[in-house]
Structure 1
Protein backbone atom coordinates (compact mmCIF):
# COMPACT_ATOMS: atom_id res chain seq x y z
CA UNK A 1 0.00 0.00 0.00
CA UNK A 2 1.31 3.47 -0.85
CA UNK A 3 1.81 6.05 1.86
CA UNK A 4 2.89 9.67 2.13
CA UNK A 5 3.81 12.09 4.91
CA UNK A 6 4.35 15.82 4.97
CA UNK A 7 8.09 15.12 4.88
CA UNK A 8 8.00 12.53 2.06
CA UNK A 9 5.63 14.32 -0.34
CA UNK A 10 7.49 14.81 -3.63
CA UNK A 11 5.48 17.69 -5.07
CA UNK A 12 5.96 20.96 -3.20
CA UNK A 13 4.38 24.20 -4.36
CA UNK A 14 4.55 27.68 -2.85
CA UNK A 15 1.72 30.13 -3.53
CA UNK A 16 2.81 33.18 -1.59
CA UNK A 17 1.94 32.39 2.03
CA UNK A 18 0.50 28.95 1.15
CA UNK A 19 2.69 25.82 1.05
CA UNK A 20 1.22 22.70 -0.58
CA UNK A 21 3.03 19.37 -0.22
CA UNK A 22 1.30 16.62 -2.17
CA UNK A 23 1.38 13.19 -3.69
CA UNK A 24 -0.99 11.42 -6.05
CA UNK A 25 -2.19 8.03 -4.85
CA UNK A 26 -4.43 5.86 -7.03
CA UNK A 27 -6.59 8.66 -8.43
CA UNK A 28 -6.58 10.83 -5.32
CA UNK A 29 -4.30 13.70 -4.38
CA UNK A 30 -3.16 13.80 -0.76
CA UNK A 31 -2.17 17.31 0.31
CA UNK A 32 -0.54 18.77 3.40
CA UNK A 33 -1.35 22.48 3.15
CA UNK A 34 -0.02 25.22 5.44
CA UNK A 35 -1.28 28.82 5.48
CA UNK A 36 1.07 31.53 6.80
CA UNK A 37 -1.58 34.22 6.17
CA UNK A 38 -5.37 34.41 5.87
CA UNK A 39 -6.52 33.08 2.50
CA UNK A 40 -9.60 32.89 0.33
CA UNK A 41 -10.19 32.09 -3.33
CA UNK A 42 -13.17 34.35 -4.00
CA UNK A 43 -11.49 36.01 -6.98
CA UNK A 44 -10.01 32.95 -8.70
CA UNK A 45 -13.13 30.84 -8.07
CA UNK A 46 -15.09 33.24 -10.29
CA UNK A 47 -13.66 31.20 -13.18
CA UNK A 48 -15.75 28.20 -12.02
CA UNK A 49 -19.52 27.55 -12.06
CA UNK A 50 -21.33 29.60 -9.38
CA UNK A 51 -17.98 31.10 -8.33
CA UNK A 52 -17.32 28.03 -6.17
CA UNK A 53 -14.90 25.10 -6.00
CA UNK A 54 -16.34 22.14 -7.90
CA UNK A 55 -13.99 19.52 -6.41
CA UNK A 56 -15.01 17.47 -3.37
CA UNK A 57 -12.52 17.34 -0.49
CA UNK A 58 -12.16 15.11 2.56
CA UNK A 59 -9.72 16.22 5.21
CA UNK A 60 -8.53 16.86 8.72
CA UNK A 61 -7.60 20.18 10.33
CA UNK A 62 -4.24 19.70 12.02
CA UNK A 63 -4.01 23.27 13.37
CA UNK A 64 -5.94 26.50 13.04
CA UNK A 65 -9.38 27.23 11.64
CA UNK A 66 -11.11 27.20 8.27
CA UNK A 67 -14.57 28.05 7.06
CA UNK A 68 -16.49 26.76 4.05
CA UNK A 69 -19.47 28.61 2.61
CA UNK A 70 -21.87 26.84 0.27
CA UNK A 71 -25.25 28.09 -0.78
CA UNK A 72 -26.79 29.66 2.28
CA UNK A 73 -24.83 27.48 4.71
CA UNK A 74 -21.52 27.88 6.48
CA UNK A 75 -19.36 25.26 8.21
CA UNK A 76 -16.43 26.06 10.50
CA UNK A 77 -13.70 23.49 11.13
CA UNK A 78 -10.99 23.78 13.77
CA UNK A 79 -7.98 21.75 14.86
CA UNK A 80 -9.03 18.15 15.43
CA UNK A 81 -12.01 18.25 13.06
CA UNK A 82 -12.40 15.88 10.11
CA UNK A 83 -14.45 17.25 7.22
CA UNK A 84 -16.07 16.56 3.88
CA UNK A 85 -16.93 19.37 1.49
CA UNK A 86 -19.01 18.58 -1.59
CA UNK A 87 -18.65 20.55 -4.84
CA UNK A 88 -20.02 24.08 -4.68
CA UNK A 89 -18.09 25.51 -1.71
CA UNK A 90 -15.93 28.59 -1.10
CA UNK A 91 -13.04 28.20 1.38
CA UNK A 92 -11.74 30.79 3.85
CA UNK A 93 -8.67 29.88 5.91
CA UNK A 94 -7.07 31.61 8.90
CA UNK A 95 -3.33 32.22 9.14
CA UNK A 96 -1.56 29.39 10.97
CA UNK A 97 -3.91 26.70 9.67
CA UNK A 98 -2.56 23.31 8.58
CA UNK A 99 -4.76 20.83 6.74
CA UNK A 100 -4.47 17.27 5.48
CA UNK A 101 -6.78 16.97 2.47
CA UNK A 102 -7.82 14.23 0.04
CA UNK A 103 -9.30 15.12 -3.36
CA UNK A 104 -10.01 13.27 -6.64
CA UNK A 105 -6.97 14.13 -8.77
CA UNK A 106 -8.90 14.80 -11.99
CA UNK A 107 -11.40 17.17 -10.37
CA UNK A 108 -8.65 18.93 -8.41
CA UNK A 109 -6.62 19.40 -11.60
CA UNK A 110 -9.60 21.00 -13.39
CA UNK A 111 -10.16 23.38 -10.47
CA UNK A 112 -6.49 24.31 -10.24
CA UNK A 113 -6.30 24.90 -14.01
CA UNK A 114 -9.26 27.29 -13.90
CA UNK A 115 -7.62 29.18 -11.01
CA UNK A 116 -4.25 29.29 -12.84
CA UNK A 117 -5.94 30.59 -15.99
CA UNK A 118 -7.72 33.30 -13.99
CA UNK A 119 -4.47 34.35 -12.33
CA UNK A 120 -2.49 34.33 -15.61
CA UNK A 121 -4.97 36.82 -17.06
CA UNK A 122 -3.62 39.26 -14.48
CA UNK A 123 -6.75 39.20 -12.37
CA UNK A 124 -5.09 38.39 -9.09
CA UNK A 125 -2.05 37.56 -7.06
CA UNK A 126 -1.75 34.74 -4.59
CA UNK A 127 -4.81 33.12 -3.01
Structure 2
Protein backbone atom coordinates (compact mmCIF):
# COMPACT_ATOMS: atom_id res chain seq x y z
CA UNK A 1 0.00 0.00 0.00
CA UNK A 2 1.07 3.56 -0.67
CA UNK A 3 0.28 6.64 1.41
CA UNK A 4 0.77 10.08 -0.13
CA UNK A 5 0.39 13.56 1.32
CA UNK A 6 -0.11 16.79 -0.61
CA UNK A 7 3.27 18.13 0.52
CA UNK A 8 4.98 14.83 -0.35
CA UNK A 9 3.72 14.71 -3.94
CA UNK A 10 5.97 16.37 -6.55
CA UNK A 11 4.81 19.61 -8.19
CA UNK A 12 4.16 19.16 -11.92
CA UNK A 13 2.53 22.54 -12.66
CA UNK A 14 2.83 25.74 -10.63
CA UNK A 15 2.23 29.43 -11.21
CA UNK A 16 -0.21 32.29 -10.57
CA UNK A 17 -1.75 30.40 -7.64
CA UNK A 18 -2.29 27.24 -9.69
CA UNK A 19 -0.64 24.14 -8.29
CA UNK A 20 -0.83 20.52 -9.41
CA UNK A 21 1.03 17.86 -7.41
CA UNK A 22 0.93 14.29 -8.71
CA UNK A 23 2.15 10.98 -7.32
CA UNK A 24 1.75 7.55 -8.88
CA UNK A 25 0.13 5.09 -6.50
CA UNK A 26 0.74 1.85 -8.35
CA UNK A 27 -1.78 -0.27 -10.16
CA UNK A 28 -1.76 2.25 -12.99
CA UNK A 29 -3.35 4.99 -10.86
CA UNK A 30 -2.14 8.37 -9.63
CA UNK A 31 -3.34 10.91 -7.09
CA UNK A 32 -3.33 14.63 -7.81
CA UNK A 33 -3.61 17.46 -5.30
CA UNK A 34 -4.88 20.46 -7.25
CA UNK A 35 -5.25 24.12 -6.30
CA UNK A 36 -7.18 26.32 -8.74
CA UNK A 37 -7.46 30.05 -8.01
CA UNK A 38 -10.83 31.68 -8.60
CA UNK A 39 -11.32 32.37 -12.31
CA UNK A 40 -9.06 29.56 -13.52
CA UNK A 41 -10.69 28.17 -16.66
CA UNK A 42 -8.94 25.09 -18.01
CA UNK A 43 -10.61 25.40 -21.45
CA UNK A 44 -7.73 27.32 -23.11
CA UNK A 45 -5.17 24.79 -21.83
CA UNK A 46 -7.25 21.88 -23.17
CA UNK A 47 -7.49 23.27 -26.73
CA UNK A 48 -6.14 20.73 -29.19
CA UNK A 49 -7.30 17.66 -27.26
CA UNK A 50 -10.26 15.74 -28.77
CA UNK A 51 -13.32 18.02 -28.52
CA UNK A 52 -11.00 20.49 -26.70
CA UNK A 53 -11.86 18.64 -23.48
CA UNK A 54 -9.89 16.58 -20.95
CA UNK A 55 -10.02 12.94 -22.03
CA UNK A 56 -8.88 11.44 -18.72
CA UNK A 57 -11.44 10.09 -16.23
CA UNK A 58 -11.14 11.37 -12.64
CA UNK A 59 -12.57 10.28 -9.30
CA UNK A 60 -12.18 12.87 -6.60
CA UNK A 61 -13.41 15.20 -3.92
CA UNK A 62 -13.74 18.96 -3.75
CA UNK A 63 -11.85 19.84 -0.57
CA UNK A 64 -12.73 23.53 -0.71
CA UNK A 65 -14.28 26.02 -3.11
CA UNK A 66 -16.70 25.68 -5.99
CA UNK A 67 -16.36 24.92 -9.67
CA UNK A 68 -18.25 24.45 -12.91
CA UNK A 69 -17.47 21.53 -15.19
CA UNK A 70 -18.46 21.80 -18.84
CA UNK A 71 -19.10 18.78 -21.06
CA UNK A 72 -20.60 18.36 -24.53
CA UNK A 73 -23.91 17.64 -22.76
CA UNK A 74 -23.93 20.81 -20.65
CA UNK A 75 -22.47 21.82 -17.31
CA UNK A 76 -22.50 20.70 -13.69
CA UNK A 77 -21.50 22.48 -10.48
CA UNK A 78 -19.50 21.04 -7.59
CA UNK A 79 -18.69 22.42 -4.14
CA UNK A 80 -16.67 21.61 -1.05
CA UNK A 81 -17.43 18.21 0.44
CA UNK A 82 -18.74 16.64 -2.77
CA UNK A 83 -17.18 13.55 -4.30
CA UNK A 84 -17.29 13.19 -8.07
CA UNK A 85 -16.58 11.10 -11.13
CA UNK A 86 -15.80 12.97 -14.35
CA UNK A 87 -15.83 10.80 -17.44
CA UNK A 88 -13.60 11.70 -20.40
CA UNK A 89 -14.79 14.90 -22.09
CA UNK A 90 -14.83 17.66 -19.46
CA UNK A 91 -13.37 21.10 -18.73
CA UNK A 92 -13.35 22.61 -15.21
CA UNK A 93 -13.53 26.27 -14.22
CA UNK A 94 -12.93 27.49 -10.65
CA UNK A 95 -15.75 29.77 -9.48
CA UNK A 96 -13.92 30.26 -6.16
CA UNK A 97 -10.45 29.33 -4.95
CA UNK A 98 -10.75 25.56 -5.14
CA UNK A 99 -8.78 22.55 -3.90
CA UNK A 100 -9.33 19.05 -5.25
CA UNK A 101 -7.96 15.58 -4.58
CA UNK A 102 -8.27 13.38 -7.68
CA UNK A 103 -7.52 9.79 -8.59
CA UNK A 104 -6.90 9.07 -12.26
CA UNK A 105 -5.31 6.50 -14.56
CA UNK A 106 -1.64 7.57 -14.44
CA UNK A 107 -0.89 7.27 -18.17
CA UNK A 108 -3.94 9.24 -19.33
CA UNK A 109 -3.43 11.91 -16.66
CA UNK A 110 0.23 12.33 -17.64
CA UNK A 111 -0.82 12.79 -21.29
CA UNK A 112 -3.16 15.64 -20.25
CA UNK A 113 -0.47 17.22 -18.04
CA UNK A 114 2.03 17.06 -20.93
CA UNK A 115 -0.49 18.78 -23.22
CA UNK A 116 -1.23 21.53 -20.66
CA UNK A 117 2.50 22.21 -20.10
CA UNK A 118 3.12 22.78 -23.84
For residue 60 of structure 1, what is the aligned residue in structure 2? 61
TM superposition outliers: structure 1 runs of 4+ over 4 Å: none
Aligned residues: 116
SS of residue matched to 1:2? coil
For residue 15 of structure 1, what is the aligned residue in structure 2? 15
- Work out the CA distance in 2 between the residues paired with 1:39 and 1:7: 22
Question: Aligned-residue CA RMSD in angstroms?
Answer: 1.4
Deviation at 1:60, TM superposition (A): 0.2
For residue 74 of structure 2, what is the aligned residue in structure 1? 73
- Work out the CA distance in 2 between the residues paired with 1:97 and 1:33: 8
- Work out the CA distance in 2 between the residues paired with 1:14 and 1:116: 10
For residue 40 of structure 1, what is the aligned residue in structure 2? 41
Stretch moving more, 47-56 or 20-29: 20-29
Deviation at 1:116, TM superposition (A): 2.4
Rg larger in structure: 1
Contact 1:18 1:37 in 2 (8 A): no
Call closer, same or farther: CA 1:115–1:22 in 2, change over 3 Å.
closer
Relative to its length, the structure with more helix (as a share) is 1
Length-normalised TM-score, structure 1: 0.83
Length-normalised TM-score, structure 2: 0.89
SS of residue matched to 1:43? helix
Gaps of 5+ in 1: 118-127
Deviation at 1:6, TM superposition (A): 1.5
Deviation at 1:104, TM superposition (A): 0.8
For residue 4 of structure 2, what is the aligned residue in structure 1? 4
Gaps of 5+ in 2: none
- Work out the CA distance in 2 between the residues paired with 1:46 and 1:8: 30
Deviation at 1:110, TM superposition (A): 1.3
